[in-house]
Structures are given as C-alpha cells and as structure tokens.
Amino acid sequence: GGVRHLDVLHPIQSGEERFKENRGNEGLSPNQSMAMASSAISTRVSSDFIVTHAWRTYLARLHSNPIMTKAISAGLLSIVSDLVAKRLTKEPVKSSSLINELSMGLVIRGPVQHYFQQFLDKVVFAGKKQSSPAVVLGKMVIDCFIFSPLYNALYFIIVGLMADQPTAESLQKIQKLLFSVMKSNWTVWVPVNIISYAVVPLELRVLFGNVISIFWTAFLIKKVKGDSQRTTHTEE
C-alpha cells in the first residue's frame, strides 16, 4: 500500500543521453540543446511529482474516510464509463445520463462494493490467509456467481427507475438479458477477481475493480440502453 519515492536519476540520465544524441543532428548551439534537455527533465520530474502527490493524497483520504473516497472515485469512473459507452454507440453525450451514472457510482458502486469486500475478508473468511488459493477461489465464486448476478439485476432496476420505466418492464429485461450479460461478465471478472483477491490489498480492491469496470460498465450501459431502444422501436 506504500508509495515508492521518485527516482529522479533515471529521467536525468535519459535527458543527458538525448542531449548527446541530438545536439549534432539538430544544429542547435550547446546552450540551446542544454536548455531543451533541462526543460524535458523538469517536465518529467514535475509530472512525476504531481502523480505521486495525488496518489499519496488518495491513500491518505482512503485511510481517513474510506467510504466517501471510494464513492467519489467510483462516481468519477462511472462518468468515464458513460462517455466510453456513448463513444461506442455514437450517441450524443447527455448531462442527464452523466448525472445518473455519477449517482450510481456515488450511491451504489462505491459503498456497496466497499461493504461487500469488507464482508468477504472480515466475516466470511475471517482468520484465514487471504491470499491462499482456497480463499481466493472461494471469494471469486461468491463474487462472480452469487453477488454479481444480484448486483447486475439491481443495476437493471435502478436504470429503469431513473428512466421512469415500470418495475415490471425492468424485471422482464432482467429475465431476457441477465444470463447473456452474466456470461460476458464471467469471461471478464473471473480472471480479474482471481488477480484482485490474490494480490490487491483490501483497501485498494474497490479502486482496482472500478478501473477495470470502466469498459465493463460501458458495455453494460450499451447493452441495457440498446435493448431499451430496440424495444421502443418494436412497440412503435
């Protein structure tokens, strides 16, 4: 969970090597070449510092206020998922859709995943070696084959409520689409969860899943909304 210190020697060495390789080819004076090399080094070090500072700040917030931190990061990544979905479907970006996905991340994805991961480690497998193959496999089975179908069904229902659809219509959609969604889900999340439960620390597991789920959630948005559009056209 710690953060490695910046290695400033590497960018300095690479800058000097670029200076030696390019000064003869570019026809620049030594002072100009040195200034360009120094600028490149400063940019690299500054960007590394910003990333490292942001990561340390995130870890500190994760320690002091884990639920809020995970909720906010899940909300922001949910917005990214919606943008990716719009890109895939070539639909215009709508503020209402972004707000809905932000709300899903803040209220559902972050907090629910936080408590579920805590439940696995501290209740179901309490006192066990968390990285042992049996525990990793057990967590993956519970996650993928018990929790995930319920979680994805909940997503269908909430999306329906946000679109002012009757609950009966959402339940029909679950009956029609959930199994095909879960087959796609298992191809992605079985290996991802094995990696997550084997090597990712508990406090970073929700973030890891949220990053991977950018594209999974985009697929799910595309699947749910695409079916809604086809149903509407059929009814018309």
Which pLDDT score, from 0 to 100, does residue 86 have?
A: 86
Is 154 or 41 the better-scoring residue by pLDDT? 154
* pLDDT given at position 9: 42
Give yes or no for residue 136 having a pLDDT over 90.
yes
| Confidence at residue 85, expressed as pLDDT on a 0 to 100 scale | 85
In this predicted model, what pLDDT tens digit does every residue of 53-106 receive, in sequence order? 889 999 999 999 999 999 999 999 999 988 988 888 888 999 998 999 999 999
CA distances from 235 to 170, 228, 230 (A): 16, 11, 9
Q: For the segment 190-203, what is each residue's pLDDT rounded down to a tens digit?
A: 999 999 999 999 99
Distance CA 82, CA 93 (A): 8
Which SS3 state, helix, strand or coil, does residue 129 take?
coil
Average pLDDT, the chain: 82
Q: Where residue 10 falls among pLDDT bands split at 50, 70, 90?
A: very low
The burial of 234, by beta-carbon neighbours within 10 Å (0-12 exposed, 13-18 middle, 19 or more buried), is given as exposed
pLDDT classification of 51: cutoffs 50, 70, 90? confident
Q: What is the pLDDT of residue 227?
A: 57
| pLDDT category of residue 229 using cuts at 50, 70 and 90 | low
Of 42-46, 87-91, 153-157, the poorest mean pLDDT is in 42-46
User: Nearest to residue 224, comparing CAs of 144, 146, 169, 150?
Assistant: 169
Q: What is the per-residue pLDDT for 234? A: 36
> b/e per residue, 194-226, with b = 16+ CB within 10 A?
bebbbebebbebbbbbbebbbebbbbbbbbbbe
pLDDT score for 218: 81
Query: Could you tell me which residues come within 8 angstroms of residue 97 by beta carbon, excluding any fewer than 6 positions away?
Result: 82, 86
Average pLDDT over residues 149-155: 93
For residue 170, pLDDT over 50 is answered with yes
- Residue 5's pLDDT is what? 43
Which residue from 41, 165, 173, 162 is spatially nearest to 103, judged by alpha carbons?
Answer: 162
Q: Say whether pTM exceeds 0.85.
A: no
Query: Does residue 66 contact residue 1 with C-beta atoms inside 8 Å?
Result: no
- Tokens 């969860």: give the residue: 193
